[in-house]
């Protein structure tokens, strides 16, 4: 089950955290993985690790908020592999603040990466997948697209858009061989979280880790590998009957 042999998968934001875990797992399952990230060195490290483990991967640099950069990425990937079976739109940024503290510049920055980035990559992938007659797009939404979370105005806005884009793509292409779903994680413990806490709560990191963990009734944050496992299912042929779905991965947040 969950065999990706012969498939090409492009994962954005794959230089660390959730994206890296997805790229690594997909490679272990046989996919040729295009590891894309704005940070060229980070993408290179992940791709090198996959190659050293016996997998197939190549690193690409891309700013998903820039149309020219996205077009160049997809040209390069299809030139190297001739096909694209899976697109994982994982690249994204966070923002903390209410509507009062969110500046127009803040909103635009989050929108450009989290919303326009998904749009540009999906827009580039769809014609390729239509020519092939099939394909899978997986978007990374968030718990914030399903419930209200304090101080996450811009981020919630962006992830709500990702959720509705997912459903729109699924409906538009359900008869044409393209499936589109999204994952809605709660807090996942990644290097980004550690860096964010160090920058914004210096000296209070253990206290904040405890608070972030306890937000989930299960008592901890999720792990990138757990998100990757769900991504593998949704991008494999075992989920062939699943499209337009938003999968919660939240340690029981919505159960209480």
Residues identified as active-site = 155
* Backbone dihedral region for residue 186 (phi beyond 0: left; psi -120 to 50: alpha; all else: beta): beta
Total length of the chain: 256
C-alpha to C-alpha distance for 90 and 14, rounded to whole angstroms: 7
DSSP 8-state secondary structure symbol assigned to residue 238: G
Name the 3-class secondary structure at 30. coil
A 10 A CB-CB count for 247 gives: 19
C-alpha to C-alpha distance for 139 and 137, rounded to whole angstroms: 7
Q: Are 147 and 253 in contact (CB under 8 A)?
A: yes
Phi and psi at 83, nearest 5°, equal: -155, 165
Residue 29 belongs to what H/E stretch? none
C-alpha to C-alpha distance for 158 and 109, rounded to whole angstroms: 10
Name the 3-class secondary structure at 91. coil
C-alpha to C-alpha distance for 31 and 23, rounded to whole angstroms: 9
């Amino acid at each position: 089950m969950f065999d990706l042999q012969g498939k090409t998968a492009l994962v954005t934001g794959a230089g660390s955290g959730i994206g890296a875990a997805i790229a690594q797992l997909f490679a272990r399952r046989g996919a040729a993985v295009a590891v894309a990230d704005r940070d060229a060195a980070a993408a290179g490290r992940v791709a090198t690790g996959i190659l050293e483990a016996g997998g197939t991967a190549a690193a690409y640099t891309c700013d998903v908020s820039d149309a020219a950069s996205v077009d160049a990425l997809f040209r390069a990937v299809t030139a190297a592999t001739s096909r694209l079976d899976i697109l994982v739109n994982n690249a994204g940024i966070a923002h903390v603040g209410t509507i009062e503290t969110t500046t127009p510049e803040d909103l635009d920055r989050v929108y450009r990466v989290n919303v326009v980035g998904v749009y540009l990559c999906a827009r580039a992938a769809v014609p390729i997948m239509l020519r092939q007659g099939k394909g899978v797009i997986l978007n990374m939404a968030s718990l914030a697209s399903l419930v209200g979370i304090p101080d996450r105005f811009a981020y919630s806005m962006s992830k709500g858009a990702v959720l509705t884009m997912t459903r729109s793509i699924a409906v538009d292409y359900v008869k044409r061989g393209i499936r589109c779903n999204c994952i809605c994680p709660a807090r996942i413990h990644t290097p980004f979280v550690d860096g964010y806490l160090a920058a914004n709560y210096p000296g209070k990191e253990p206290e904040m880790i405890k608070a972030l963990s306890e937000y989930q009734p299960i008592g901890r944050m999720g792990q990138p590998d757990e998100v990757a496992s769900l991504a593998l299912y949704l991008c494999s042929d075992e989920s062939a009957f699943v499209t337009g779905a938003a999968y919660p991965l939240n340690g029981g947040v919505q159960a209480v």
